[in-house]
Amino acid sequence: MMRVAKIAAIGATAVFAALFVGWWQVDGPGADSAPGKRSLPLTAMEFSLTDQDGRDVGPETLIGEPSLVFFGFTYCPDVCPTTLSDISGWLDEIGPDAEDLNTVFITVDPDRDTVETMAEYVSYFHPQIQGWTGLPDQIAAIADSFRATYEKVEGENGEYTMNHTAGVFLFDATGRFVTTIDYHEPREFAVPKIRRAMQNRTERAES
């Protein structure tokens, strides 16, 4: 019995250590603060895109509510559908409060991802998820502001795929960049990060 208790205590310590290291590197003093590596705040961005309903959107569309933003493309074979499924699970766990969270999927493949294509694609995931597209230079500008990267990888017979940043960008209601949620980050880590970002809005509403 004592051996079992000892193993459990070691396991709990390991979990705590992992959580602490993750916080230190992402949200705490160990977070990367080097210029050019963290996303700009939304208030410092200038961009214009089109959502899946054909409406013009920009930074002002996001500021005022906390936001999750993910870059990808509809022809993506694994990372994008997996991440959007993960995001859908996070939103389900957050519950009704998720209606106050801007959740946006921005294409890095505007040549194929038209407004209609984005509308169909995001319909397979949580209804809170929006799909944004635009002209190639517009996509390049917003990716630069987010410090997201992407590149076209040529294949055979004129086919191609896209390499791109796989993390999810999280902002609070003021437009401040909070953190990045990593690809395949466990839900028990991701959801508390989102709730903390949403807390700022709740506190402002109650004040």
80 labeled part of a ligand binding site: yes
Q: What crossing angle do the helices spanning 187-206 and 79-94 adopt, rounded to 10°?
A: 50
- The runs of H, that is alpha helices, within 101-186 are 115-122, 136-146
The residue whose two tokens read 């807390």 is 199
DSSP H or E run through 161: strand 160-164
Judge contact between 104 and 138, C-beta under 8 A: no
- Alpha-carbon span 49 to 55, nearest angstrom: 8
- The whole-angstrom separation of Cα 204 and Cα 130 is 25
Sheet with strand 177-181: strands edge to edge: 129-132, 102-107, 67-72, 168-171, 177-181
Structure tokens at 168: 């999810």
Task: Return binding residues.
Answer: 76, 80, 164
Task: Return binding residues for Cu cation.
Answer: 76, 80, 164
